[in-house]
A = this chain, B = another copy of it.
Amino acid sequence: MNPMDTITQQFTAHNYKLTSQREAIVKVLLDNEKDHLSVEEVYMLVKGSYPQLGLATVYRTLELLCELHLVEKMNFGDGVSRYDLRSEDHDHMHHHLICDSCGKVAEIKDDWLAELEEKLEKEYGFSVTDHRLDFKGTYRICTGSGCKRPKEGQAIS
């Protein structure tokens, strides 16, 4: 089944109405799966094909998608929330590489933390339901261009 159907099906399954706005927003998320879009970015992108869209609807829809565990809300310390589509299997095991010079956020799809999570379970009595792993640094070959995020503190935040 294609990802769009999977998602819209979730809507109806939970008795949420499938409005054209919601469809358009989900479509933008799918088309930009690699991008960790902010609310403003989603809004602008959807507005292209749907000019009468309201910003509040984007906030409400993203919140809803979060509630349905279809997207993940995160924060890279630039003052805005960013949203990341979860893969169908809900594994969402990926990590981020944040480039210091251009601000680009890349994803790594492996799960490198399985061992650590076992260790936490055994040695700390802590059972993990979710995790987050971000690295900041620089690519040996960084164009330095394509900077999306103007200012950025020194900490990953």
Instruction: Please list the residues of chain A having a beta carbon within 8 angstroms of any beta carbon in chain B.
Output: 66-67, 69, 72-75, 77, 81, 97, 99-100, 108, 112-113, 116-117, 120, 124-141, 153-157
Contacts and interface: CB of A to CB of B under 8 A. Distances in A.
A153 B66 contact: yes
A127 B98 CA distance: 11
B132 A134 contact: yes
Nearest to A63: B153
A131 B128 contact: no
B77 A153 contact: no
Contact of A74 (B69, B137, B156): B156
A136 to B, nearest CB: 4
A127 B136 contact: no
A134 B131 contact: yes
